[in-house]
């Protein structure tokens, strides 16, 4: 996913490099992609709607297009899913092959990614500006916006959602940045040393200020005494401990034209349609239908050899045949040759 115009949109990309810790790899197993040490670099893939050819069995309605200087991003592995897209087959060697996608599958990927998203991961989602190629659009409307009521994005305002899910101190309204643990320890320490509301005899935790019998993260007692200079620094930190940077609410840009969202490619529409069809299936199971396809065909689980596209979304539902997660790998070398 990418953050664009204060909203989340589906984004597809090709893997450029894979880093685990300090080492680079050409491929890794899919079951470790969610590890916090896995970092994936990918190049954005642009999509354009495919023209209908009048064929009743036409499955795909989106295809990839080549662009120069497409942006590249680096994200944690937990923020992407892996897909095995269909590649166009043509007898004309002068035409470059392209990837093909179905709208229903792309909406399914968006739903999967959004429902798995947790507040602490939002800050790792790259931000991009609105361009003629992204978000993906059809008939002038933005497609594959990531929003649904179950995820907390009722208004689809990512900045507001991130703000409402921020971590704050339990004794004051200061926002604690989990990426800066030293600043958190300093802030909590000022409360322990100087806040009259904190009972030092209860041995409060240096991370959450809860008494020692309650907190499971109780730190060990100090092995040394604070020096006078350190005492002075802590007093200075206490004097400014409740200073809150004025960063919210965000100011609206002047003459900003909001994106027009395509209802036909919206997750809210997909979930609503799925709900209606699920209710109908309870009355007549023989006519059961799903908007978002499920991968439940045993024949589709026999084998798989992933030629990877990273998708800042995927890996659940119908796509493509030959699904076997034990055999899936992320292979940067294959992608770099394309």
- Global confidence as pTM: 0.57
Q: Is there a domain that residue 10 lies in? A: yes
> Most distant CA pair in the chain: distance in Å?
82
DSSP 200-260: GGG---TTT---TTT-TTPPPPPSSPPPHHHHHHHHHHHHTTT------SPPPPTT--PPP
Asked if 299 and 326 sit in the same domain, the reply is yes
Q: Which of 59-73, 89-103, 280-294 has the lowest mean pLDDT?
A: 280-294
Per-residue b or e along 72-90, where b marks 16 or more CB atoms closer than 10 Å to that residue's CB? ebebbbbbbbbbbbbeeee
Q: Is there a domain that residue 93 lies in? A: yes
Q: Is there a domain that residue 247 lies in? A: no
Domain count, the chain: 2
Residue 12 confidence (pLDDT) above 70: yes
Asked if 87 and 15 sit in the same domain, the reply is yes
Asked if 49 and 131 sit in the same domain, the reply is yes
Q: Is there a domain that residue 194 lies in? A: yes
Q: How far is the C-alpha of 4 from the C-alpha of 163, rounded, in Å? A: 17
Which residue in the block uniquely carries the two structure tokens 């929003």? 147
> Residue 322's pLDDT is what?
40
Asked if 283 and 207 sit in the same domain, the reply is no
Asked if 194 and 156 sit in the same domain, the reply is no
The dihedral sign for the CA sequence 77, 79, 84, 90? negative
Which residue did the predictor score with more confidence, 89 or 273?
A: 89
Average pLDDT of the residues in 181-190: 83
Q: How far is the C-alpha of 150 from the C-alpha of 274, rounded, in Å? A: 14
CB atoms within 10 A of CB 245: 7
Q: Is there a domain that residue 171 lies in? A: no
Residue 18 confidence (pLDDT) above 60: yes
Q: How far is the C-alpha of 125 from the C-alpha of 153, rounded, in Å? A: 15
CB of 218 closer than 8 Å to CB of 212: yes
Q: Is there a domain that residue 172 lies in? A: no
Residue 271 confidence (pLDDT) above 70: no
Average pLDDT value over all residues in the chain = 71
Asked if 149 and 286 sit in the same domain, the reply is yes
Average pLDDT of the residues in 69-85: 88
Residue 144 confidence (pLDDT) above 70: yes
Asked if 47 and 132 sit in the same domain, the reply is yes
Residue 317 token pair: 């539902």
Average pLDDT of the residues in 110-139: 85
Which residue in the block uniquely carries the two structure tokens 């978000």? 135
Model confidence at 275, pLDDT cuts 50, 70, 90, reads very low
Give the domain-ending residue among 192, 215, 239. Answer: 239
Which residue did the predictor score with more confidence, 20 or 245?
A: 20
Give pLDDT tens digits for 38-58.
Answer: 999 999 999 999 876 555 557
Asked if 97 and 130 sit in the same domain, the reply is yes
Asked if 90 and 216 sit in the same domain, the reply is no
Asked if 281 and 234 sit in the same domain, the reply is no
Asked if 20 and 113 sit in the same domain, the reply is yes
Which residue did the predictor score with more confidence, 332 or 198?
A: 198
Torsions phi, psi for 184 (to 5 deg): -65, -45
> Residue 111's pLDDT is what?
84
What stretch of H or E contains 81? strand 81-83
Domain that holds residue 217: 181-239
Residue 8 confidence (pLDDT) above 70: yes
Q: Is there a domain that residue 190 lies in? A: yes
Q: Is there a domain that residue 265 lies in? A: yes
Residue 60 confidence (pLDDT) above 80: yes
Asked if 140 and 48 sit in the same domain, the reply is yes
* Helices assigned H by DSSP within 7-123: 103-116, 119-122
Q: Which of 35-44, 94-103, 141-150, 215-224 has the lowest mean pLDDT?
A: 215-224
**Is the preceding omega at residue 31 within 30 degrees of 0, hence cis?**
no
> Residue 285's pLDDT is what?
40
């Amino acid at each position: 996913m990418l953050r664009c115009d204060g909203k989340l949109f589906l984004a597809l990309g090709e893997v450029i490099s894979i880093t685990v810790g300090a080492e680079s790899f050409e491929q890794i197993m899919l079951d470790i992609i969610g590890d916090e040490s896995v970092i994936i670099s990918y190049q954005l893939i642009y999509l354009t709607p495919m023209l209908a050819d009048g064929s009743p069995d036409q499955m795909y309605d989106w295809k990839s297009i080549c662009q120069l200087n497409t942006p590249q991003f680096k994200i944690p592995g937990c923020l992407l899913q892996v897909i095995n897209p269909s590649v166009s087959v043509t007898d004309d060697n002068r035409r470059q092959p392209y990837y093909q996608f179905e709208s229903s599958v792309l909406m399914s990927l968006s739903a999967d990614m959004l429902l798995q998203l947790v507040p602490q991961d939002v800050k790792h989602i790259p931000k991009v500006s609105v361009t003629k190629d992204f978000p993906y659009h059809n008939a002038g409307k933005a497609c594959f916006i990531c929003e649904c009521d179950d995820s907390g994005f009722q208004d689809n305002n990512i900045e507001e959602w991130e703000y409402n899910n921020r971590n704050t101190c339990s004794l004051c309204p200061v926002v604690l940045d989990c990426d800066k643990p030293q600043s958190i320890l300093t802030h909590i320490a000022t409360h322990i040393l100087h806040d009259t509301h904190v009972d030092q005899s209860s041995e409060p935790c240096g991370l959450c200020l809860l008494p020692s019998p309650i907190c499971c993260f109780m730190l060990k007692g100090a092995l040394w005494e604070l020096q006078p200079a350190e005492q002075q620094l802590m007093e200075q930190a206490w004097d400014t401990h409740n200073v809150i940077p004025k960063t919210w609410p965000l100011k609206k840009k002047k003459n900003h034209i909001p994106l027009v969202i395509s209802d036909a490619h919206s997750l809210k529409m997909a979930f609503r349609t799925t709900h209606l069809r699920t209710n109908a299936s309870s009355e007549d199971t023989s006519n059961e239908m799903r908007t978002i396809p499920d991968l439940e065909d045993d024949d589709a689980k026999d084998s798989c050899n992933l030629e990877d596209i990273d998708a800042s979304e995927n890996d659940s539902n119908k796509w493509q045949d030959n699904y076997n997660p034990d055999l899936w790998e992320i292979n940067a070398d294959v992608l770099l040759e394309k």
